[in-house]
Chains A and B, each alone.
Chain A
Amino acid sequence: MSDEHKPVPASEGENPFIGGEHTYATVTDKIAAIALARRTSKGWVLGFLFSFALMQLLLVAVGYLLYKGVGIWGINAPVYWGWAIINFVWWIGIGHAGTLISAILLLVRQEWRTSINRFAEAMTLFAVSCAGLYPLLHVGRQWFGYWLLPLPNTMRIWPQFRSPLIWDVFAVSTYATVSLLFWFVGLIPDLATLRDRAKVKFAKTMYGIFAMGWRGSAKHWYRYETAYLLLAGLATPLVVSVHTVVSFDFAVGIVPGWHTTIFPPYFVAGAIYSGFAMVLTLTIPIRAIYGLQDFITDRHLDAMAKVMLATGLVVAYGYMMEIFMAWYGGHPYDMYMVLNRMRGPYAPGYWALIACNIVIPQLLWSSRVRANAVFLWVLSLVINVGMWLERFIIVVTSLHRDFLPSSWGMYYPTKWDVMTFLGSIGLFLTLLFLFVRLLPVISIAEMRGMVSSPTDKEGGHH
């Protein structure tokens, strides 16, 4: 259970991505025990209470917002998109790692994903829930939020299909639906395991309802595998499409700093970058607390760190291209925007973002850094902050210098902006705590596939 657990070299173990001695039974015991433990640990209760209290900030902030209107936020001419949109993009980006891990890594048969996919998918789902809140709160008259959907209505009008904001509605709702389905379908065999192992009648019944009558017959497995693969196929384009559409919110607008063709790929890379950072932020403490080092090994952390490094470099390329194109295009407004980011009133934010997203993550080139869980954890936090700053810089610095100097202005968040953001972190953590307590954090069924079969093991106990 110590943090210095050494990864098993590939030559020694049959599967380098599982440490220790494990059979079907021990895998099931170990993971199911977390969800089925009769006693709730003190640490969990404290953590949950903290998250729940944090979530109340959201409740208060949203309640006052509904009463008073979006004027309580710092948005005003010329910056009409403030923290709400920044947080929306930040949260939705975080979700992307989950989908990448579960769908793309499944299709390209990266076995190491098995240990982290359940957890990352849950993270996706909760991050999308947090993200989805913001545009809804930002519309001003939230009770008309359903106008965003193409529903038959008494007004004989449809939403403006030419607006990227409507594409966003479709992209995000599709994403949320597919992510939920994917996560749930993956859970079914595990829910059945929990149903069979639960001692309490209520738990048995609840797990039983959601297991939907899973008996583990060959027919069940066949259908399950087919459905899972199909959903993976459906989810794969979403990894790319959702953040592409989010980037259109900016790129379609004729605003220097937004109106660039590099936005879609650079947003997608940024999303995966921040998503993997968040997965690390969450998995490192959880594997330490629940002693899951055998399943989430240092090699997993290493692999995730490499993905971060790669996507981080794509993001760095994006930043460089923005500067290059502003110079190469010779457009005075574009050039001014770039210089204003570097030297204007928000310059500290810009340089902090460069430090967090580009300079500091270069440490990941070192394998010693990648092997150090504590160091990785701190680094992942730095990247999370950096990616938030990136969205801040994109949204605020592009808007606060309008084409006419007479309409220039500054943007400052209010306490309500801060409360809403902290509250959404509270919501995210609350959901995460409930998930960790009630559901298997690692896919039991798939982990069983990772260990060698029980008959092999019985003879060869070394």
Chain B
Amino acid sequence: MAQIFHRSTNTLSKLSIFGAVFFLAGLGGIASLVIRSGFYTQIYVAREQPIPFSHKHHAGGLGIDCRYCHTSVETSSFAGIPPTKTCMSCHAQIWADSPTLEPVRASFRSDKSIEWNRVHKVADFVYFDHSIHITKGVGCATCHGRIDQMPLTRKQNTLLMEWCIGCHQHPEENLRPRSEIFNMAYEQPSASAPVVHRGESYTRQAALGAVLMEEYKVQSLTACATCHR
């Protein structure tokens, strides 16, 4: 009887069984990389805006406090996008004729809001609240990065759930004194640069975090219903 298959089929079939394992593992590996990549999460990607607003200039260079524009950050879930009036409180006088700022003036004249493009979009069904994070000692820069150094606003963190949970499991690693919340240049305590809180000097975040956990009554909340209601 004639052979149906060539001799090489023996090797090929063994190889394909063996290879399938690596192929599938590779596929899984690639998927896990893609889903965390900037391509998918848009991390570090500056978004196009109607006006090239620079946080670096306003918050960094001029030193305007976050709350001057984001007024409701301490009391509400939403930090607040400033109305055009807030812009005009300065720009009626400064750079009043700049062509770049024409959309701002147009918005002021027509009473139509400037349509900014959202940079930080939380997944559906997540109830995020700015005020509680601020109150419990999480600084702006912890999540948003050095906004004061960004000419155009971009995401500094993935906003994937693993990132949220990472901090919710160990909040003490990211807490700072309430007085430092809006301090963009704040750095965690180290031997060379200790942080002073209530008269005590701390050189390790572990020690400071533990004290703040106690003082601000911070809990590690990881139940589903904390964010998904």
Q: Across the interface, do B166 and A156 meet the contact criterion of CB distance under 8 Å?
A: yes
B5: CB under 8 A from chain A?
Answer: yes
* Contact partners of A195 in chain B: CB under 8 A: 4
* Contact partners of B5 in chain A: CB under 8 A: 205, 208, 213
Q: Across the interface, do A155 and B10 meet the contact criterion of CB distance under 8 Å?
A: no
The chain A residue with its CB closest to the CB of B4 is: A208
* Contact partners of B4 in chain A: CB under 8 A: 195, 204-205, 208
In the bound complex, CA of A59 to CA of B158 (Å): 38
In the bound complex, CA of A33 to CA of B162 (Å): 58
The residue that A157 contacts in the complex, of B10, B32, B35, B165, with Cβ under 8 A, is B165
Q: Type the 1/0 row for A242-279, where 1 means its CB is closer than 8 Å to any CB of B.
A: 00000000000000000000000000000000000000
Residue with the highest number of chain B CB atoms closer than 10 Å, among A152, A154, A205: A154
In the bound complex, CA of A155 to CA of B169 (Å): 13
* A contacts with B: majority SS: loop
* Contact partners of A434 in chain B: CB under 8 A: none
Q: Across the interface, do B161 and A155 meet the contact criterion of CB distance under 8 Å?
A: yes
* Contact partners of A196 in chain B: CB under 8 A: 1
In the bound complex, CA of A208 to CA of B4 (Å): 8
Q: A31 CB to closest chain B CB, in angstroms?
A: 21
Q: B225 CB to closest chain A CB, in angstroms?
A: 13
Instruction: Tell me which residues from 105 to 162 in chain B have a Cβ below 8 Å from any Cβ of chain A.
Output: 158, 160-162
Q: Across the interface, do A213 and B10 meet the contact criterion of CB distance under 8 Å?
A: yes
A212: CB under 8 A from chain B?
Answer: yes
Q: Across the interface, do A156 and B162 meet the contact criterion of CB distance under 8 Å?
A: yes
Q: A353 CB to closest chain B CB, in angstroms?
A: 38
Chain A interface size band reads 10 to 19
Instruction: Tell me which residues from 186 to 205 in chain A have a Cβ below 8 Å from any Cβ of chain B.
Output: 195-196, 204-205
In the bound complex, CA of A154 to CA of B35 (Å): 8
Q: A84 CB to closest chain B CB, in angstroms?
A: 24
Instruction: Tell me which residues from 155 to 196 in chain A have a Cβ below 8 Å from any Cβ of chain B.
Output: 155-157, 195-196
The chain B residue with its CB closest to the CB of A198 is: B4
* Contact partners of A152 in chain B: CB under 8 A: 32
Q: Across the interface, do A154 and B1 meet the contact criterion of CB distance under 8 Å?
A: no
Instruction: Tell me which residues from 18 to 42 in chain B have a Cβ below 8 Å from any Cβ of chain A.
Output: 32, 35-36
Asked, given contacts A196-B1, A204-B4, A208-B5, whether A155 binds B13 with beta carbons under 8 Å apart, the answer is no
In the bound complex, CA of A196 to CA of B13 (Å): 20
In the bound complex, CA of A86 to CA of B10 (Å): 46
The chain A residue with its CB closest to the CB of B5 is: A208
* Contact partners of B13 in chain A: CB under 8 A: 212-213
In the bound complex, CA of A212 to CA of B9 (Å): 10
The chain A residue with its CB closest to the CB of B9 is: A213
Q: Across the interface, do A157 and B1 meet the contact criterion of CB distance under 8 Å?
A: no
Q: B122 CB to closest chain A CB, in angstroms?
A: 13
Q: B18 CB to closest chain A CB, in angstroms?
A: 14
Q: A197 CB to closest chain B CB, in angstroms?
A: 11
Q: Across the interface, do A155 and B165 meet the contact criterion of CB distance under 8 Å?
A: yes
Asked, given contacts A205-B4, A208-B5, whether A155 binds B160 with beta carbons under 8 Å apart, the answer is yes
Q: B126 CB to closest chain A CB, in angstroms?
A: 11
Q: Type the 1/0 row for A135-157, where 1 means its CB is closer than 8 Å to any CB of B.
A: 00000000000000000111111
* Contact partners of B160 in chain A: CB under 8 A: 154-155
The 7 closest A-B pairs by CB, nearest first: A156-B162, A155-B161, A156-B165, A154-B160, A208-B4, A154-B162, A204-B4
Contacts A/B (CB < 8 Å), 18 sampled: A154-B158, A154-B161, A154-B162, A155-B161, A155-B162, A155-B165, A156-B161, A156-B162, A156-B165, A156-B166, A157-B161, A195-B4, A205-B5, A208-B5, A212-B13, A213-B5, A213-B9, A213-B10
19 more CB-based (< 8 A) A-B contacts, given A156-B161, A195-B4, A204-B4: A152-B32, A153-B162, A154-B158, A154-B160, A154-B162, A155-B161, A155-B165, A156-B162, A156-B165, A157-B161, A157-B165, A196-B1, A205-B4, A205-B5, A208-B4, A208-B5, A213-B5, A213-B9, A213-B13
Taking Cβ atoms with an 8 Å cutoff, the residues of B that contact A are 1, 4-5, 9-10, 13, 32, 35-36, 158, 160-162, 165-166
Taking Cβ atoms with an 8 Å cutoff, the residues of A that contact B are 152-157, 195-196, 204-205, 208, 212-213
